[in-house]
């Protein structure tokens, strides 16, 4: 009985690990704002809508 519970626990653990790893998006865009004091606010910059991609 201990072997079945160990196998079940290993299976559940591996499924959870795969679910966690598949949800990682390492290619996303990150914005670091406010590191300089003269940048203003991010919300103010977005409202101006002068930035293009």
Question: pLDDT by residue for the chain (53 residues), tens digit each?
Answer: 688 888 889 999 998 888 787 776 666 777 777 777 777 787 877 787 665 65
The predicted model scores a pTM of 0.40
pLDDT 10s digits, 3-12:
888 888 999 9
Report domain extents, the chain. Answer: 2-48
Structure-derived torsion over alpha carbons of residues 9, 15, 19, 20, reported in degrees to the nearest 10: 40
Cα(26)–Cα(28) distance, integer angstroms: 6
């Amino acid at each position: 009985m201990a072997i079945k519970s160990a196998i079940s626990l290993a299976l559940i653990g591996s499924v959870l690990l795969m679910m966690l790893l598949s949800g990682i998006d390492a290619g996303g865009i990150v914005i670091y704002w406010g590191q300089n004091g003269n940048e203003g606010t991010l919300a103010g910059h977005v409202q101006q809508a002068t930035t293009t991609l």
